[in-house]
Amino acid sequence: MSIRPTIETRKAMPTMEGAGVKLHRAFGFHDPTELDPFLLFDDFRNEHPADYLRGFPWHPHRGIETITYVLAGTVEHGDSLGNSGLLGAGDVQWMTAGSGILHQEMPKGNAKGQMHGFQLWGNLPSSQKMTAPRYQDVRGSDIPEVIDDDGTRVRVIVGEFWGKTGPVDGIAADPQYLDISVPAGVRKTFKVDTYRRAFAYVFEGQGAFADASVPTGVLLEKEVAGQEVNIRDMSGDRTLVRFGTGDEVTVQAGPQGVRFLLISGAPIAEPVAWHGPIVMNTQQELQQAFRELRNGTFIRPAH
C-alpha cells in the first residue's frame, strides 16, 4: 500500500456563468490533462437568490458528461429531446451529452434561500463522443451510505466502496465519486485504485491530507487537543486537493471534522479540442459542431 502524496492544493476561484450565476470554480478551461478524465468542477453553493435565480438558460453540450450533485435547494432541468425533471437535496444527475443536446438548468433555493451543489464535467473518449444522449437521475434516498465505527460517513454515488455500489453506472471514465464526512480528530485512509487520477474537494470543516514529504497528522493532533497549529497544513472550505500516484488517500480531520468529495477516474489520454460546452478531439470536429449549431443540425434524430 502507498499513500498518494498531495501535489497541489488551491482555492476555488469566484466566477460567473449562465445568465449571471455566481459560483466558485476549482478547475476548468486550463489544462485538460491535469485531472484527465475530468475537465471542470464548479461549486455553486450560494445563500442569496439574486446570485443564482437567473440560472443556466438553453445551451448546448457535446462530447462530455455533466454530473450535478445537489445539497440544498432544487434544480429544474429540461432539454431539446423533451426530457424534464427536478433535482432536490441529496439528488444526483449524470447526463451523457454524447452527440449533442440543448438543455437548461434553473436553480431554486430552499426555504432559507440556500442553493447548494456541485457540477463536474467528465470527458468522453473519441469512441463515445457521438453516442446518443442519456440521463441517469438518482434520488438521494437511492444513494447508499456507509457509517464506520469511528463515525466516518460515506455516500457512494458512483463506483464501489466498503461493500456498497453507487447507483450510477455505465460511465466511460470508470469513476468513483464519494461524499465523505470524517469526525473531529479522526485520521482515516481510503483506497483509490492506482490507475485513476484523483482529487478531493473540501466543502465543510478542515482536514490535512497526507503528503509524502510532510507528516501532517502530527500538527493536527495538537490542534485537536487545543494547542496551536500551523494552519498551512489544513485544507478548508472550497479547497481542491490534487493527488499524485498511489493506492490510498489519508486525511486527518480538524477540530470540527471535515467533509469532502473524493473523486477519481481512469485517464482517457486523448487530444482535447475544447470551446465552452463542447469538447471534441480535433479542431475540425469542434468547428463542425459549431457549424451544426448555426445551421440547426446539431441535434441528431433519435434511433
Q: Residue 225 maps to which CATH number? A: 2.60.120.10
d(CA 74, CA 71) in angstroms, rounded, equals 9
The answer to whether residue 88 sits within a structural domain is yes
Asked if residue 154 lies in contact with residue 145, where contact means CB atoms within 8 angstroms, the answer is yes
The answer to whether residue 261 sits within a structural domain is yes
The answer to whether residue 31 sits within a structural domain is yes
Domain that holds residue 146: 6-265
What pLDDT, on the 0 to 100 scale, is given for residue 125? 97
Q: What is the mean pLDDT of residues 33-56?
A: 96
Q: 80-132 pLDDT, tens per residue?
A: 888 889 999 999 999 999 999 999 999 999 999 999 999 999 999 999 999 99
The answer to whether residue 301 sits within a structural domain is no
Residue identified by cell 476561484 is 13
Place 50 in a pLDDT band, splitting at 50, 70 and 90.
very high
The answer to whether residue 299 sits within a structural domain is no
What pLDDT, on the 0 to 100 scale, is given for residue 82? 85
What pLDDT, on the 0 to 100 scale, is given for residue 138? 94
Q: How many domains does the chain have?
A: 1
The answer to whether residue 166 sits within a structural domain is yes
Q: 151-165 pLDDT, tens per residue?
A: 999 999 999 999 999
Torsion of CA 201, 207, 211, 216, to 10 degrees: 170
The answer to whether residue 256 sits within a structural domain is yes
Concatenated DSSP letters of 222-280: HHHTT----GGG-B-TTEEEEE-SSSEEEEEEEEEEEEEEEEEE-------EEETTEEE
What pLDDT, on the 0 to 100 scale, is given for residue 219? 40
The answer to whether residue 192 sits within a structural domain is yes
**Rg value, the chain, Cα:** 19
Where helices occur in the chain by DSSP H, the ranges are 216-224, 283-295
Residue 270 exposed, middle or buried by CB count within 10 Å (0-12, 13-18, 19+): middle
Asked if residue 90 lies in contact with residue 71, where contact means CB atoms within 8 angstroms, the answer is yes
d(CA 159, CA 143) in angstroms, rounded, equals 11
**CA nearest to 217, candidates 40, 1, 2, 6:** 6
Q: 211-258 pLDDT, tens per residue?
A: 644 433 334 444 433 333 343 468 889 999 999 999 999 999 999 999
